Amino acid sequence: MQNDPQLNANGELRHLLSIEGLPREVLMSILDTAASFVGVTEREVKKVPLLRGKSVFNLFFEPSTRTRTTFEIAAKRLSADVINLNVAASSQTKGESLLDTVSNLSAMQADLFVVRHGSSGAPFLIAQHVKPHEHVINAGDGRHAHPTQGLLDLYTIRHYKQDFSRLRVAIVGDVLHSRVARSLIHGLTTLGTPEVRVIGPQTLLPTGVEALGVKVFNKMQDGLRDVDVVVMLRLQSERMRGALLPSAQEFFKHYGLTAQKLALAKPDAIVMHPGPMNRGVEIDSTVADGPHSVILPQVTFGIAVRMAVMSIVAGN
Amino acid sequence: MKVLIRNGRVIDPASGRDAVGDVAIADGRLCEALPGKPDQVIEAAGLVVAPGLIDLAARLREPGYEYKATLESEMDAAVAGGVTSLACPPDTDPPLDEPGLVDMLRRRAKVLSRARVYPVGALTVKLAGERLTEMAELAEAGCVAFSQADEPLADTQVMWRALQYAATFGLPVWLRAEDHWLARGGVAHDGELATRLGLPGIPAFAETIALGALLELVRATGTRVHLCRLSSAGAVDMVRKAKLEGLPVSCDVGIHHLHLSELDLGYFDSHCRLVPPLRGQRDRDALAAGLADGTIDCVCSDHTPVDEDQKQMPFSEAEPGATGLELLLPLTLKWGAQQKLPLAGVLARITSEPARILGVHSGRLQLGAPADVVVFDPEATWRVSPEALRSQGKNTPYLGYELGGRVRYTLVAGNVVFEQA
Beta-carbon separation of B309 and A97 below 8 A:
yes
Burial (CB < 10 A; 0-12, 13-18, 19+), residue A143, is buried
> What confidence score (pLDDT) does residue A3 get?
76
Closest residue, chain A, to B317 (C-alpha): A119
What is the residue-wise DSSP string for B200-269?
Answer: PEE-THHHHHHHHHHHHHHHHH---EEE-----HHHHHHHHHHHHHT-SEEEEEEGGGGT--GGGGTTT-
> What confidence score (pLDDT) does residue A173 get?
97
Beta-carbon separation of B195 and A125 below 8 A:
no
Rounded to the nearest angstrom, the minimum Cα separation between A250 and chain B is 25
Annotated catalytic residue: which of B76, B302, B307, B372? B302
Is B312 within 8 Å of chain A by CB? yes
Report the C-alpha dihedral over residues A285, A291, A293, A298, rounded to 10 degrees: 130
Q: pLDDT tens across B128-160, in order?
A: 999 999 999 999 999 999 999 999 999 999 999
Question: ipTM score here?
Answer: 0.94
Give the number of other CB atoms < 10 A from CB of residue A5.
19
More confident residue, B35 or B189: B189
Contacts 24+ apart (CB under 8 A), A3-9: A5/A124, A5/A127, A5/A128, A5/B267, A6/A127, A8/A316
What is the residue-wise DSSP string for A169-220?
Answer: EEEES--TT-HHHHHHHHHHHHTT-SEEEEE--GGGS-TTGGGGT-EEES-H
Rounded to the nearest angstrom, the minimum Cα separation between B86 and chain A is 34
Closest residue, chain B, to A141 (C-alpha): B198
Is A153 within 8 Å of chain B by CB? no
Please say if B103 is a catalytic residue: no
Q: pLDDT tens across B230-276, in order?
A: 999 999 999 999 999 999 999 999 999 999 999 999 999 999 999 99
User: Three-class SS of residue B93?
Assistant: coil
Decide if B312 contacts B270 (C-beta within 8 A).
yes
User: Three-class SS of residue B139?
Assistant: helix
Rounded to the nearest angstrom, the minimum Cα separation between B112 and chain A is 36
Phi and psi for A61 in degrees, rounded to 5? -90, -5
Is B277 within 8 Å of chain A by CB? no
More confident residue, B111 or A219: A219
Is A5 within 8 Å of chain B by CB? yes
Of all residues in chain A, the percent with pLDDT exceeding 90 is: 84
B270 contacts on A by Cβ (under 8 Å): 125
Residue B159, phi-psi category: left (phi > 0), alpha (psi -120 to 50), beta (remainder): alpha
- Is the link from the previous residue into B248 a cis peptide, with omega within 30 of 0? no
Phi and psi for A113 in degrees, rounded to 5? -105, 125
> What confidence score (pLDDT) does residue A86 get?
79
d(C-alpha A191, C-alpha A205), whole Å: 23
Is B192 within 8 Å of chain A by CB? yes
Question: What is the pTM for the complete model shown?
Answer: 0.95
Averaged pLDDT, groups of 10, chain A, 316 residues long:
81 96 96 93 84 95 90 96 81 74 90 96 96 96 97 98 96 97 98 98 96 97 98 89 90 97 98 95 97 97 97 89
- Tell me the residues of chain A between 112 and 131 that have a Cβ less than 8 Å away from chain B: 117, 119-122, 124-125
Closest residue, chain B, to A146 (C-alpha): B198
> What confidence score (pLDDT) does residue A268 get?
98
What angle (nearest 5°) sits at the alpha carbon of residue B59, between those of residues B54 and B60?
Answer: 100
